[in-house]
Amino acid sequence: MLEYGTYYHIYNKGVNNQNIFNTEIDYMHFLNLMDIFLLPVADIYAYALMKNHLHLVIRVNEKEEIGFLDPKYSDSKNMTLKWKTFFPINNKEDFTLNKKPIPEKMLQHMFNAYAQWFNNKHNRSGQLFKHPYNRIPVQSVKYLKRLIIYVHRNPVKHGFCDHPIEYGWTSYNTLISIKPTKLSRERVLGWFDDRANFKISHNNENDNFMDIRNIFLE
């Protein structure tokens, strides 16, 4: 189970190392599912979507921070719509009979929804992900900072680019931008003191994070 108020490294990969993203639309669809299933229950700090695996850095919200599903807008035949409509807990309406989303199940829904969509789109069947998903609790800000850098430099490690800024499917460019975002950007930049130090911290060509790298999926 995912614990409320806890930071996690979430990761997953394709079964038999097969691709889980084949086209630009695949990447975009997964990001859309993150908005639908993750944002109601967690803060998203960083992500990297690679061809055959992915990394997410999140904080599961405290139970009281999670809103309620309004049954007027739920649709049992349409999971996307059902899980889209949450209201903040300070809403004055009576939510006694309404449900709160469970973080563990929301992640399961996200990966299941993507696998079903991917199989339909690419005319395949069977299991897409090696595991439902993997999670590692993050216990310190020092580790969290190293993890965020590692996630953003994952495309560099795998030879897709020379610097995180050159790869379009991580959160790096969004975090250094000033455009509005649903990511918890200010919190992340605060851990690195400011945007300039955040950029500098990602310039290290030597991935000397051996204390965390060996427990990752690659």
Measured at the CA of 169, the angle between CA 38 and CA 154, to 5 degrees, comes to: 100
- pTM listed for this prediction: 0.86
pLDDT, averaged across the chain? 86
pLDDT digits (tens, 9 = 90+) for 206-216: 554 444 554 44
- Cα dihedral sign, 120-51-188-209: positive
Residue pair 144/151 in contact by the 8 Å Cβ criterion: no
Residue pair 155/48 in contact by the 8 Å Cβ criterion: yes
**In the chain, where does DSSP find H-type helix?**
24-33, 79-82, 103-121, 141-152, 154-157, 172-176, 185-191, 195-201, 210-213
Q: Counting Cβ atoms within 10 Å, is residue 153 exposed (0-12), middle (13-18) or buried (19+)?
A: buried
pLDDT digits (tens, 9 = 90+) for 43-100: 999 999 999 999 999 999 999 888 876 655 555 445 544 444 555 545 555 555 567 8
Distance in angstroms (rounded) separating the CA atoms of residues 24 and 29: 9
- CB hemisphere CA count around 32 (13 angstroms): 11
**Is domain 7-66+101-213 in CATH 3.20.20.140, yes or no?**
no
Instruction: Give the residue with greater pLDDT, 116 vs 91.
Output: 116
Distance in angstroms (rounded) separating the CA atoms of residues 83 and 192: 33
User: Residue 28's pLDDT is what?
Assistant: 97
